[in-house]
């Protein structure tokens, strides 16, 4: 965990997505350090987090990760938090706000998905078979899966260095924990939670996102009572790396409201 920015500023907590760590925010978070207290952390089992923090018996649901976020905020005595969550951390932040609404002032969901699997009239982007195949591939050859999937997830094939960075991040993650977290992530269904999240929320959506299609971002916006959607001038699933200017500008406009 790292804390920077204004000691007396409103806290902004940045949370990374699957296979990543807090370094994924290095192009965005510092832009708010002159006005806010910036808190970066690694989820249990990721990055430089204490290995003992990951509990395979407890971290079997996104709620466990949300509980970790709430515990972090309380231990640091944070209030009026602006929580910025990328990918799966968007739903983690939403669950944290449901558990402790008094701690959170605003939420920013970057490429969120409440459910990755299509269901009746809901378009999540994947079929059951797609997810089974993805998880089987990840189980059998995590490093091989990472080298193939990371560039697809990143998008932006004209900038292969971005895909290479995400590949390296995936490969630094403990394979056993990554397999478990992938199953928790891609089998999650938090659609019923969205209408209960009253915290003002900004949904940031990219085009050509292989993980969270535009329809998913629209669904999240429409399902929440106090949410707005901004389409970024960006492609892929990681605008915090591929389009930090647009990402930071959208967040800045939202937190200034």
Distance CA 183, CA 37 (A): 33
Decide if 237 is catalytic: yes
Exposed/middle/buried for 9, CB within 10 Å: 0-12, 13-18, 19+?
middle
Out of 16, 43, 59, 237, pick the active-site residue.
237
The one catalytic residue among 21, 87, 113, 193: 87
Are residues 195 and 223 in contact, defined by beta-carbon separation less than 8 angstroms? yes
59 is a catalytic site residue: no
- The verdict on whether 209 is a catalytic residue reads yes
One-character DSSP codes across 189-239: B-GGGGGG--S-EEEEEEES-SSS-HHHHHHHHHHSTTEEEEEEEEESS-H
Residues labelled catalytic:
87, 209, 237
């Amino acid at each position: 965990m790292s804390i920077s920015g204004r000691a007396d500023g409103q806290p902004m907590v940045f949370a990374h997505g699957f296979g990543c760590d807090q370094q994924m925010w290095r192009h965005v978070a510092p832009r708010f350090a002159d006005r806010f207290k910036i808190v970066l952390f690694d989820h249990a089992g990721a990055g430089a987090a204490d290995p003992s923090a990951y509990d395979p018996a407890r971290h079997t649901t996104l709620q466990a990760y949300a509980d970790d976020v709430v515990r972090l905020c309380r231990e640091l005595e944070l209030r009026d938090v602006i929580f910025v969550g990328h990918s799966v951390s968007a739903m983690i932040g939403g669950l944290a706000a449901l558990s402790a609404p008094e701690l959170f002032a605003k939420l920013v969901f970057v490429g969120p998905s409440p459910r990755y699997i299509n269901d009746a009239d809901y378009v999540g982007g994947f079929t059951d078979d797609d997810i089974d195949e993805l998880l089987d591939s990840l189980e059998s050859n995590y490093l091989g899966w990472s080298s193939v999937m990371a560039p697809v997830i990143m998008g932006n094939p004209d900038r292969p260095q971005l895909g290479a960075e995400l590949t390296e991040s995936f490969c630094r993650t403990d394979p056993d924990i990554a397999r478990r977290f992938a199953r928790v992530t891609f089998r999650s269904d938090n659609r019923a939670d969205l209408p209960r999240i009253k915290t003002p929320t900004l949904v940031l959506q990219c085009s050509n996102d292989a993980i969270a299609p535009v329809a998913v971002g629209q669904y999240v916006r429409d399902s929440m009572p106090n949410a707005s959607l901004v389409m970024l001038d960006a492609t892929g699933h990681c605008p915090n790396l591929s389009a930090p200017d647009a990402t930071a500008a959208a967040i800045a406009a939202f937190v200034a409201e």
